[in-house]
Structure 1
Amino acid sequence: MFFSKCSQMSPRSAKRCVLLIWIMSVIVSLPHGLFHNTYEFPDDDGKTIVQCLPVHPDAGWWKTYNVYLVIIQYFVPMVILDTAYTMIAVKIWTLSKARIEMDETKMANQKVSFDIKLV
C-alpha cells in the first residue's frame, strides 16, 4: 500500500483541516465582497441594468491581489494534483516492474525444473 495505517488522519484532524480550509477561503475571498459595488445603468428600452463592478482604492493592489488569486486558485492546486498523480504513477510503474521481474524469475525457475526432469 501507499501509506501505512498509522499515517492516516484522525477524524478530529480532518475536521480541523476542513475548517482551516474554509476559514482561509473566506479570508482570501473577502476583498471581492468588500471592494465591489452595484451600479444601475439605464438601458435603451428604458429598463435598468444592475452591474456589480470593482471599486478599489489602489489599482496596483488590485492587480497584485488578482495575481495572488491565480497562484492560489490555479497553480497551487495544479502542483498538488501533479505531485499526487506522479506519486501514483511511480508506485504503479514500480509495482508492475517488480511483477514483471517476478514473473520472469518464476518462468526461468519453471524452465530449469523442466530441464532437470528431462535429464
Structure 2
Amino acid sequence: MSSLLVHLGSVLADVLAPSPTGRPGNGGYGGLNNPPPQAPDGLSVIAEQWISWAKWGCLLCGALGFLVCGAMMTVGRRNRSHLAGEGAAGIPWTIAGLSLGALAVPLAIEIMSASGSGG
C-alpha cells in the first residue's frame, strides 16, 4: 500500500512540476499538452453569429427589465410601496445581467488565458 502511495506521489509530482519553458502544460504524464482552443473548420463564423444573437437577446431582456422596473416603481408609488421597492430592487439585477452579458466573451477569454489555454 505504501509503495502505491509513493508511486502516486511521484506521478503527481511529475505532472505538477513546473515547465522548463515557463509555460503551463509541459507535457506532464504521458506527454499530454495543454493546447489553446481552436474552432473546428467553418464553425467559428457560426459560433460568432450565435454569440451575437445571444448578446442581442441579452440587450433586449435588459431593456425590458429596466422598463418593467420603471413600471413597477411607477405603479407602486401610491399605496403599493412594496411593489415600488421590488421595482427598485430589480435595477441592480438588471445592471448585473447586462454587465455579465457584455463581459461574457472577454471574461471567458481571460479565464482561458490565465489557465494557459487561451489564445
**TM-score computed with the length of structure 2 as normaliser:** 0.40
Q: Which has the larger share of strand?
A: 1
- Greater CA radius of gyration, 1 or 2? 1
Q: Higher relative contact order at CA 8 Å, sep ≥6: structure 1 or structure 2?
A: 2
